[in-house]
Structure formats: structure tokens, C-alpha cells
Structure 1
């Protein structure tokens, strides 16, 4: 049997997961990356490895206090032009409405999505704290689906 006759398996949906987090303080409107965060979009991006569809975003503010009625959120931003110019807000936003405390734990939110991204796009998440910084950092996960050719 020659190599052309070998089946490579079924095609169909696959998945990718992008984990972003920092254990350092993150300020209002900072972008999140792999262990870092700052106000710079470009310095906090990851590259999309193949065409995909963003299917969800999960935010966890951990044990950072959030007052009653205050809102913390994460929004996915992308760049299709190598980071030149202003990044594009996708409108995919996971929001937590306080309180979040030891007495009333409420630290996690999910947003479903259906947003196409292409190979080589830059991607990250911008955090809104509702005011000051979250001293204990935060974590976010971007869920993507792919179709294998």
C-alpha cells in the first residue's frame, strides 16, 4: 500500500482552548495574557493558529472582592492587521454582577459566541473591573471550534 492509500481519519469539528491569566494585579481596562497584563493590546496578544469560530468566553475573578451591583467583565478583542491601528472589540462579553465575597462567592461568568477568526489574527481579552484593580489577578478562557479539512 502506498502512502496515498492511507486514510487519515474522519473530518469534523475540533476544538481549541486559549487560557489567559495573571497572578499579578490587573487594572481596569487592561488586556490579559499568559501571566501578564497591561494597557497594551499588542503586548498581550496570542496568535490564532488556524481559522476557527469563537464559541465562548469564561471569566473568573477569583477571590477579588466585588461589591453588590458592581460589574466585572471580560471582552475578547482581535486584530486582523498585525496589531497596527485600533483593535476590534468582538462584542463577546462575560460579565459578573457583584457581590463576590467569602460570604457570597460569585466569581465566574460565561458568554456563548459565534464569531469567526482567521489564522494569524491576534487575540486577547480586556478586563473591566468596575473601578480599581483586582489585586489577585484574574483568569479567562476563550473556547474555539475548528473544522478539520
Structure 2
């Protein structure tokens, strides 16, 4: 979630398509991305559509909106990994994404540790905050 999102959150009557400052999910920002998505949907009382345990068949238009909102905030790699033409269910999509990024099998842990070692911290202040943010979000995945 960006600093601007925290200080200037969208109002409850802002449509999901008007939210432009949410970053797309990539291999290193799952936790912040997840919080941003849940907060954005929560402000519109749509977060219940992410829960597999709650029946939500009576909300077809809202389900479609939430599905495409999530899809619109996936990078190309995650889109290819999680989106199929056969399912437009936001709760199944959400569950797949969470299971993938929340699990810590040995190969995921090893991959994240390698990413940590590859992060370069510049000697000047230029780019330092991005490096720290990347390090922090990667560390949170462990």
C-alpha cells in the first residue's frame, strides 16, 4: 500500500475502477498487495466475496467486478499462473493466490533467500527506499 493510499484513502463511493495507485501483485509484494486489495474491497462491502466459505451466488455482478479488480492488479506472470478462462470466481482466485504466496515449501523459502542475497543496496540515497522495501517484503514471505 502506498503512502498516498494510507493518507488519502478512496472514499466509500469511489468505484473500484477509479483506484489507480494499487500496485500489481509480483513475486515480492504479496503482503502489502493483499492488504491493499482487502482494504479496497472492504470499503465497498465486497470483501465477503473473497471467502470460499460464504455463499455468494446471489451477487453475480459484484463477483464479476471483484474478479476483474483482482485480475487487473496481477502482473503478467501471476495472471498466467492464476487466471483461467474456465473460472471467474473471485473467491477461488483469491484462495489460489493466497495458498501460493502464503505457503512456505522449501523451494519457495530457498527462492526467497536467493532473492534477498541478490538485492543491491545503493551507496547513495537514490533507490535506497526501493531496495529496503523489496528486502522487507521478500523477508516477510519467509
TM range (shorter): under 0.3
Greater Rg over alpha carbons, structure: 1
TM-score (norm 2): 0.27
TM-score (norm 1): 0.26
Higher-helix-fraction structure: 2
Higher-strand-fraction structure: 1
